[in-house]
Structure 1
Amino acid sequence: MLWNIDLTLVDVAIVTRDAYAEAFRVVTGRPLVKLAPALGRPDSEIVFETLAVNGVVAEDDHLPRFLSALAVAFADRRKRLAKDGRAMPGAKDALKAVARLDGVVQSVLTGTIRGNAVLKLKAFKLDPYVDFDLGGYGEEVYPKATLLQVAQGRAKERLGTPFTAANTVVIGDSTRDVQAARIGGAAMIAVASGRSTAAELQEAGADVVLPDLSDAAEVVAAVAALTSPDRVPQGF
């Protein structure tokens, strides 16, 4: 079970933007004028576009320096996460309910770099339900479909089970999350709690579309249905 983080489990956009602004200043010596929109993309991709839209020609060391500075800037602001951000409706109850399903291991598939992903979930006490070692993160490969396969490989190495669309479920809020699941090989539960509408998520190919995570029983039922041995996965 792989959870997207931003606008699926938590909303910490204000703190994230401030951390990006600080990292941009540290790396370029200039103030950030425009931050590239996330749109379900990994931090590594957002960094390159942010540099470009601010007129900075990316050099070989820009990405590692920026991600390092972003981690420091975000950690410096970790006490603001719970104050200036929020857990999405039903997030904790959904994580707890899914954790009770037999044979389910929960991790994350996120565009956020690993250190920041951990801080985001810890701020709202969501981290006990997540095995961070099995996830995929924004400092690694992209697009997300490839990152999904990286996470599946980690799970196979640890658990000894091949992971496919029959036993891997992604929960996310963007059409990019849906596309990653479709291409990478996973079933998809989409929640219309982000910037993609329910209709857009359905059209992108989500197996199940929910308004949000507020009904934990509904989330559990969707996970159980999508991992049932009798289910025939959609074509990928």
Structure 2
Amino acid sequence: MVQLVLWDIDHTLIDTRGVGRELSAAAFQRTTGLTMRKQAKIDGITEAVIFRETAKLQGLATDREDFERFAAALAAEHLLQAADLRERGHALPGAAAALELLAADGIRQTVVTGNVRPVAEIKLQVFGLDQHILWNLGAYGEDDDQRSKLVKLALRRAQVSPADAVVIGDTPADVEAAHSSDVRVIAVASGRSDEAALRDAGAETVLPDLRDTELLVKLVRGGDPR
């Protein structure tokens, strides 16, 4: 039986509806002194890579120390603007119920996310989705540039085998990262990638969203989606 669910956050459990980009821009300016005119690709990418590539678009070379200052600034911006995030963003339909049902089923849950840990914690706290997340088992944007390595790290922290885990995410990057560690994937087309793109990436199962929580729990257990 599956022992661990590895959740993605953005567009899987929540949607910040543009607030996230605004907070990134504020943190970028606080860190570099430059206006973030363009932002690098973000879907399925870790925060360290997003910062580095975004800086390049502004003609700026950065190092690890710059990223660490940016990560601290980003966490600070999320704390300062938590009320705005709560007002303008939202938990995605079915997210809270899915977390509750999986917890009731005795399945441990954590996150594998490109967000740095403090931001991940704030985002889920703001929308009341943090109660069943085992944060110390997760893997975050400051842990490694490559999402595939984050899955491996979470498995090590949780001390479970790939066969005993499931990744739930909304991007082809989630699918590819899971499969690099031989972990099964339940993809949800609640982000920018549609069901066809997620199937093309190799997802074993694709759902339109998290609304059918009983089906999701059945799929986590390894049941037939039919």
TM-score tier (shorter): over 0.9
CA–CA distance in 2 between the matches of 1:137 and 1:167?
A: 20
Give the CA deviation at 1:184: 2.1
- Report the count of equivalent residues: 220
- Structure 1 residues 43, 131: closer, same or farther in 2, change over 3 A? same
Deviations 1:27-81 (A, max 9, x none): 2112111111211111111001110011112245221111121111122111112
TM-score with structure 1 setting the length: 0.89
Q: Is 1:197 matched with 2:194? A: yes
Q: Is 1:211 matched with 2:208? A: yes
Q: Which residue of 2 aligns with 1:124?
A: 127
Q: Secondary structure at the match of 1:169?
A: strand
Q: Mind listing any 5+ residue stretches in structure 1 that lack a counterpart?
A: 157-161, 227-236
TM-score with structure 2 setting the length: 0.93
% identity of equivalent residues: 39
Q: Which residue of 2 aligns with 1:231?
A: none
Equivalent residues of 1:43, 1:111 under 8 A apart: yes
CA–CA distance in 2 between the matches of 1:121 and 1:36?
A: 24
CA–CA distance in 1 between the matches of 2:66 and 2:27?
A: 11
Post-superposition, which runs of at least 4 consecutive aligned residues in structure 1 deviate over 6 A? none
CA–CA distance in 2 between the matches of 1:185 and 1:73?
A: 36
Amino acid paired to 1:44? A
Amino acid paired to 2:169? G
Q: Secondary structure at the match of 1:184?
A: coil
Q: Which residue of 2 aligns with 1:229?
A: none
Equivalent residues of 1:190, 1:210 under 8 A apart: yes
Equivalent residues of 2:7, 2:168 under 8 A apart: yes
Instruction: Using CA pairs under 8 Å that are at least 6 residues apart, name the structure with larger relative contact order, 1 or 2.
Output: 2
CA–CA distance in 2 between the matches of 1:36 and 1:91?
A: 28
CA–CA distance in 1 between the matches of 2:38 and 2:26?
A: 13
Q: Which residue of 2 aligns with 1:170?
A: 167
Amino acid paired to 2:129? L
Deviations 1:94-127 (A, max 9, x none): 111111223x100001111101111111111111
Q: Mind listing any 5+ residue stretches in structure 2 that lack a counterpart?
A: none
**Residue number among 148, 152, 159 corresponding to 1:149 in the alignment:** 152
Amino acid paired to 1:15? V
Q: Which residue of 2 aligns with 1:138?
A: 141
Q: Is 1:220 matched with 2:217? A: yes
**How large is the Cα RMSD of the aligned pairs?**
1.4
Q: Secondary structure at the match of 2:187?
A: strand
